[in-house]
Amino acid sequence: MTDIKLLKTTSRRLEILASMNITTLEDLIYQYPYRYEVIEEKYPTDEDEHLIIEATVISPVKIFFKGKMSRMSFEVEDKYLQHFQVSIFNRHFLRQHLKLGTTITIIGKCVNHRITASDIKIKPLQDISGIYPVYSLKEGITQKSFRQYVKKALSLLNHEFDDFIPEKYRIQHHLIRKESALYCIHFPENKKDVQEALKYLKYEEFLKFQLTMQLMKQQRTQEMGIAKDFDVTQLQSLILSLPFALTKDQQTAIKEIVEDLKSPQMMYRFLQGDVGSGKTVVSSVALYANYLAGYQGALMAPTEILATQHYQTLSRFFENTDVRIELLTGSLSLKEKERVYQAIQSGEADIVVGTHALFQKKVVYHNLGFVITDEQHRFGVMQRKALKNKGQQVDFLIMSATPIPRTLAISMYGDMDVSTIKTMPQGRLPVKTQYIHSSSMKPILKHLKSYLAQGGQCYVICPLVEDSENLEAKSASQIAKAMQKYFQTQYNVGLLHGQMKEDEKEKVMNSFLNNTIQILVSTTVVEVGVDVKNANMMVIYNAERFGMSQLHQLRGRIGRGQEQAYCYLMSSSSSKEAIERLKYLEKSHDGFEISLYDLKLRGPGEVLGQRQSGLPTFLVADIMKDFPILSIARKDADEIIHDYIQNHEYQGIVCKIQEKLQVNNEYVD
Ligand SMILES: Nc1ncnc2c1ncn2[C@@H]1O[C@H](COP(=O)(O)OP(=O)(O)OP(=O)(O)O)[C@@H](O)[C@H]1O
């Protein structure tokens, strides 16, 4: 790493750079432009009013002032002898240069031969045409000075950039050299240069990522776990005692997990399934197998509500067995906590369900053998590791209800094995979903009343807790008040949001569960996991504010039994795209399809919570858009690792990745 002071710029500027996390010359070079401005002749088309043209001034300039504001106007003629009336605001200082006969370049918008210019350059187009990088910068550093810094950094580093990509693959994929790629990304002469640079850099990023994933997987398969020994017939009899038959996908997932538990290698499996597809049942069976083998199991959930619910589900599930279950959450009393810690340490507790509290220092396990985390994207990698490290050679299962296409799953969680539950339990009716253009409950009221009269319960979801002047979104507390006023004593309305204390939340949730509350107005805290079978209606306010996968998760709270469920997506947005998204949910009930649509729209970072999940953030590549490159990089990484093991080739790059892995023990680039 080379000290940025070599740039010889002011300390103020160095401070600004440091606040952008740029402290070395290398950091500077890896700060890529986020877009390019192309200056080349452009005449407006039917679809696009933008224009960049060269023209000659043919009339005197008129200026109008209004306070400090000014508007300048004059006439020009272009090379096709066309005349345009040009207006530009607040550039009166240019007047002296706009003499009759001067050739200028105009950038702006044009309608009916009237141009509103955003910029005027007193130069012929030829002198300024080109492609200019635009960086995301902080105040105090201009685009121009940043470009100069990058240029200086490139020359100070003496253009010594080793190609990470092996020569064989560089040639095979017709890639330029790294040095050229870096130069072209910052100083392209044309669009092709940018394309070539991106092609190199994206492939390089993906190749590093795939090599890391595969080396991690390799390391892991060498790490010996515990081959757990248990009686499968006991497992089967528990499955047979369930009130329903398992779906085919549930059976397959269980089979895969059981094989992992029995194998001497450590399990590192990702179980994904649509909301309500029955993942909890699968995890319960898996926990039972681990128990039968004589080990403790832990199930970690992202919220207390969910942990409590899992605890209740498991308690019912294991009702007729000897399994002893404990719940550990932050809101337990000190005395209770002490008792649970003791039970965990002594081995009295066979299964512990809880939140982050499960991996605090104080919690010492007797013989932890299996860890399951639910809704993996809400836990950071470090948190997962902390829990895993609580035992030796612990098997590890991650469950997620935001399913993603298998190919993408394999590429993103390349170091994990993936089980997928696609089929829904029999007899499930898709939730009847309807988009309603409204900001109030009025159009739904009739249905709501008749539904409540039949004894049903309803969720009302809002994006915010309290009213905010800036946002129009309906707030949960305001709506709860209004609904209680409307229904008077006929029905009880409850309020649930993230800012409430855990015990308050639990109280409200329990009242909803036992039907003391009929209408639960809530923010998205109910998004994951809660299971109230009698609630089969949901109204979502300002639905356009939620992501599609999130809306799908939310409506997954209803229709979990045999009854027909109804979900209303309310929105007063007039955005065409927003309406299209909501209408898509009327048609599609498949979490995989929806997440794919959502991934394409918003990218994996937004949908899956990239930052929290420890998924890699790529500088230039985009997992969705550049998926074909990712697939090729995956295949190449396979080959490289194979040749490394068999023929001791590619030692250089494999060592580089291994070094990084030792430092971070996770993929971080
Ligand atoms: N094979 C099955 N047949 C019928 N009902 C089932 C089956 N498997 C699970 N269920 C029931 O379906 C409901 C949803 O199951 P479960 O809670 O396991 O789903 P999940 O995938 O964990 O859901 P979520 O993603 O919402 O947490 C539960 O009430 C469960 O008892």
Please tell me if the CB atom of residue 276 comes closer than 6 angstroms to any atom of ligand 1. yes
Query: Do 631 and 411 contact (CB within 8 A), yes or no?
Result: yes
- pLDDT per residue as tens digits for the range 379-414: 545 555 666 666 677 898 988 877 777 667 766 666
CA pair distance 50, 108, nearest whole angstrom: 6
What domains are defined for the chain?
Answer: 41-128 (2.40.50.140), 232-263+277-400 (3.40.50.300), 432-588 (3.40.50.300)
- pLDDT per residue as tens digits for the range 206-256: 999 889 888 877 777 677 778 999 999 999 999 999 989 999 999 999 999
Beta-strand relationship, 432-437 and 566-571:
parallel
C-alpha distance from residue 81 to each of 55, 367, 435, 584 (Å):
9, 87, 53, 50
Please tell me if the CB atom of residue 531 comes closer than 6 angstroms to any atom of ligand 1. yes
* Residue 277 Cα: closest atom of ligand 1: 21
Which token pair is 660?
């990084």
Please tell me if the CB atom of residue 552 comes closer than 6 angstroms to any atom of ligand 1. no
* Residue 427 Cα: closest atom of ligand 1: 4
What are the beta bridge partners of residue 271?
Answer: 399, 419
Interface predicted TM-score of the whole assembly (ipTM), two decimals: 0.97
For 504-553, what is the HEC assignment?
Answer: HHHHHHHHHHCCCCCEEEECHHHCCCCCCCCEEEEEECCHHHCCHHHHHH
DSSP codes of every residue in 63-112: EEEETTEEEEEEEEEETTS-EEEEEEES-GGGGGG--TT-EEEEEEEEET
Which of these, 350, 316, 355, lies nearest to 337 by C-alpha position? Answer: 355
410: three-class secondary structure by DSSP: helix
Atom 15 in ligand 1: residue holding the nearest Cα: 278
- pLDDT per residue as tens digits for the range 309-364: 899 889 999 998 999 999 998 888 899 999 999 999 999 999 999 988 888 888 99
Please tell me if the CB atom of residue 316 comes closer than 6 angstroms to any atom of ligand 1. no
Q: Report the first-to-last Cα separation within the chain, whole angstroms.
A: 15
Query: Do 436 and 543 contact (CB within 8 A), yes or no?
Result: no
Please tell me if the CB atom of residue 280 comes closer than 6 angstroms to any atom of ligand 1. yes
Beta-strand relationship, 296-300 and 325-328:
unpaired
DSSP codes of every residue in 302-358: SSHHHHHHHHHHHHHHTTTS---EEEE-TTS-HHHHHHHHHHHHHT--SEEEESGGG
CA 102, distance to chain mean position in Å, is 53
Residues of the chain with pLDDT below 70 are 159, 221, 375-391, 406-407, 410-414, 464-474, 525-530, 602-617, 661-669
Please tell me if the CB atom of residue 247 comes closer than 6 angstroms to any atom of ligand 1. yes
Ligand 1 mean position to 644 CA, how many Å?
45
Task: Scan for tokens 């996991």, then name that residue.
Answer: 529
What are the backbone dihedrals phi and psi of residue 380, each rounded to the nearest 5 degrees, phi first? -75, 160
What are the backbone dihedrals phi and psi of residue 90, each rounded to the nearest 5 degrees, phi first? 55, 35
Which token pair is 485?
């006023």
Ligand 1 mean position to 537 CA, how many Å?
18
From 277, 375, 527, mutation site for ligand 1 pocket: most ligand atoms within 8 A of C-beta: 277
Please tell me if the CB atom of residue 246 comes closer than 6 angstroms to any atom of ligand 1. yes
Check residue 406 and give its pLDDT: 67
CA 613, distance to chain mean position in Å, is 8
Check residue 617 and give its pLDDT: 64
Please tell me if the CB atom of residue 403 comes closer than 6 angstroms to any atom of ligand 1. no
Between CA 319 and CA 531, with CA 242 as vertex, the angle to 5 degrees is 75
Atom 23 in ligand 1: residue holding the nearest Cα: 276
Beta-strand relationship, 566-571 and 493-496:
unpaired
Check residue 384 and give its pLDDT: 54
Atom 8 in ligand 1: residue holding the nearest Cα: 278
For 433-447, what is the HEC assignment?
Answer: EEEEECCCCHHHHHH
Please tell me if the CB atom of residue 248 comes closer than 6 angstroms to any atom of ligand 1. no
From 531, 532, 533, 562, mutation site for ligand 1 pocket: most ligand atoms within 8 A of C-beta: 531
CA pair distance 360, 364, nearest whole angstrom: 9
Ligand 1 mean position to 281 CA, how many Å?
7
CA pair distance 311, 47, nearest whole angstrom: 58
Ligand 1 mean position to 425 CA, how many Å?
7
* Residue 275 Cα: closest atom of ligand 1: 25
C-alpha distance from residue 74 to each of 70, 82, 95, 97, 102 (Å):
14, 14, 10, 13, 12
Ligand 1 mean position to 236 CA, how many Å?
18
Which token pair is 422?
């696609």
